[in-house]
Structure formats: structure tokens, C-alpha cells
Amino acid sequence: MSAPAFTRSATRAALRAAAQASKPQLRSLSLLAARNVVRAAAPAAPRFAAPASVRGYKTLDFAGTKEKVYSRDEYPLEQLHEYFKNDTFALLGYGSQGHGQGLNLRDNGLNVIVGVRKDGESWRQAIEDGWVPGKNLFSVEEAATKGTILMNLLSDAAQSTTWPELSKFVVKGKTLYFSHGFSCVFHKETGVIPPKDVDVILAAPKGSGRTVRTLFKEGRGINSSVAVFQDVTGEALNRAVNIAMAVGSGYVYETTFEKEVYSDLYGERGVLMGGIQGMFKAQYEVLRKNGHSPSEAFNETCEEALMSLFPLIGEHGMDYMYKACSTTARRGALDWAPEFEKANLPVFERLYESVRNGTETRRALEFGNRKDYREQYDKETDAIADQEMWRVGHVVRALRPDRAGKAL
């Protein structure tokens, strides 16, 4: 019998249940809570006036290239409160990033409201997360009117279709914020052209909104990039960095809108999502065709990678992972890595060009504007869940020692 397919709604429900179940085990629920613990045992930190220029960065050497990196340590919560004391963050959209960034802003004690379609799925989700209609939950239009920092976190397709109406609220004195360079860079396709008299900035967390939220609650923070598309006030970069810290970043580096969207679309289709699924499946299928059992094929393809080797790479680097394995494994990996690089390079070059020339943008917009796009996405992702490899994975994950005794 195959494992059940997981739809978007079911996944959200499971995530909410898991979050509720784990609450008593959390050491802190937010950076604010974590810092309150520190304050209880230390003298009160001095209050900071809003900085006149971007501060708190280090210049680091990345393999011979000097880059600026902004650290959360230089942006204490008191400074953020002072800096944003006259602002209202209007969170437009409550998807993955809206959920994570919005709750983090709220827990950090900043003035934030949510704007979504009334009585829709996002409206219901926001209410479940504690947003109150008429207090800090409004229609998109009302939130955009009230906000001074308009955080356009609608889906890329929705940003395009709603821009003719939303643009009416983007007026002088407000800041237009994105977490993706998509709409502005591909303006010919999206129609999103900001007015010339407002700052336009982005802070792009390098992970899903769920990860943004989880790392924030753990007191760590995610790495993010910041960029300026338009600087009218002379304060745009500084504002972008401060917002990045306020939404839960641990450290921040600079980029441009164009480079952010190119690298983001490229990475998602490559090793972050599309490429890794393709490689996993190809290796699994060859093992199965050569008589290996499903459990063995999954363990040698996915489980060992995800639970044993990838964490070593993340913590210490590829060379460390190689050295942590047997000399036989090391020899084979060193010999075959160039083969995979050679085989994959033309695919990645073709992918990058498809991003740069707008092909991926047009595909995303066309699909995202279909009336049944959610159902179609669910159909395709459910088909992945129903692949033998991932049905086997459902069973294997349940066998992990930390899940002992839990139902399959």
C-alpha cells in the first residue's frame, strides 16, 4: 500500500500540530525572548538613536574577494525599536515568507499589520496565527493605506496581477519592500514599475519562510541578502539592512535585485530543489533496476546523504566530509566528481540562460496565473510523493531512532 500523498493544506496542518507539540521544549520563542533572558542577568543596554549611515558591517575575504557582511550583533532590538518607532510594516500576502517574517516582526515588538484577501485561505491562516481582524489584519488595500513600509510578499504571479491596483498606494514617503527581485527585474513581463519618488529595497532570506521562523525561535537567525533598486532618500540600504535584522536575519550580505533573482531562480531549479530531486531519482532507479531492494536503494541514495553526509558538509565543508569517510569512498568520490561536473555543466549553463532571458519568468507567470494553479501544483507534488523512492522514504524516516514508537 502506498503512503498517503501530502497536499499543501495537510502539510500546513501537520506543521502547525508539530509546532504546538514542540512549544514546551523551546528554549526561547523569539529573539526578543532570548534577549530578555540576557537582560535579566546583565545591565540594561543603552538605547540607540537611528543611525545616519549604514553601520555594523565587517569586510570579509571570500576566497580572495572582499565583501561586506552585516551582523545581527550590531543591531540590538533597542536600536530597531528606535529606528522603526514611526513606521508601520504592512505585510501584503501571507504565504511562506509572509508567515515567517510577519510573526518575527510581531515577536520583536514592532508595529506590523497583515493585508490579505478577506475570508480567503491566507485570511484564515493569519487568524490561526493570532492576527486579529480590524486590529492588525486587514484587506490588502486597507493595510497598504495604513502602512509606511509596504512589504510586497504576494506570490510572483499575484504581484503582477495586483500591481495596477496596489501601485495606487505606493506614494511618496513610503518604502516599497520585496523579498525577491523578480517583479522589478522582469518588469516587462510583470508590469511592476515602481514610481520614481519612493525607496525600493529587498531583503531576501536564504530559505523558506518556515525556516526563517524556526531559526528565529531557536535564537539563531537566517542568512539573507539585501539590495537597493531605487534610493530616493539616501537611506535605502540602511533601511534594508535594519529590516533584514528585524525579520530574523543572523547576518546579511549585499547584492543587486538582478543578481538576487538570477541566483535564486537558478538555485531553486538546480541543486536546491530540481537538481537534487533529479539526481536522487536517477541513482535510485539504477539501483532498483540492478536488483537492490527499495530500502537499500533509498538508504544508499537519500537517507545516508540527508542524515549523515550532508550535515557534515553544512557544518564543516566538503573536504571534511570526504575525510570523515573511508579511503575507498574517498577515492571513488574524488575520481567521479569531475565526471558529474562535466556532465552537469552544460545543463547548468542552459538553465542560467533560461533564467536570464526570461523564459523561467514567463513560465512561472503563465502557470501561476491559471485559475487552478494550486490544484495543479498539488497534483504534481503529490505525484512526487507517490514515487516509489519517496513512499519508501516515508517508511524509512519512521524507523529513525528519534521517531521510535511513532506511527508510520
Q: Which residues are identified as catalytic?
A: 180
SS3 state of residue 120: coil
Q: Are 214 and 189 in contact (CB under 8 A)?
A: no
d(CA 360, CA 356): 8
Listed residue (247, 316, 204) closest to 99, CA to CA: 247
Which residues, 6 or more positions from 32, have their beta carbon under 8 angstroms from its beta carbon?
77, 107, 108, 109
List alpha helices for 247-326, DSSP H.
Answer: 257-269, 274-289, 294-298, 304, 310-316, 318-324
Cβ atoms 321, 334 nearer than 8 A: no
For residue 152, give every residue at least 6 positions away whose Cβ sits within 8 Å of its Cβ, in sequence order, or none.
Answer: 92, 93, 159, 166, 176, 177, 178, 183
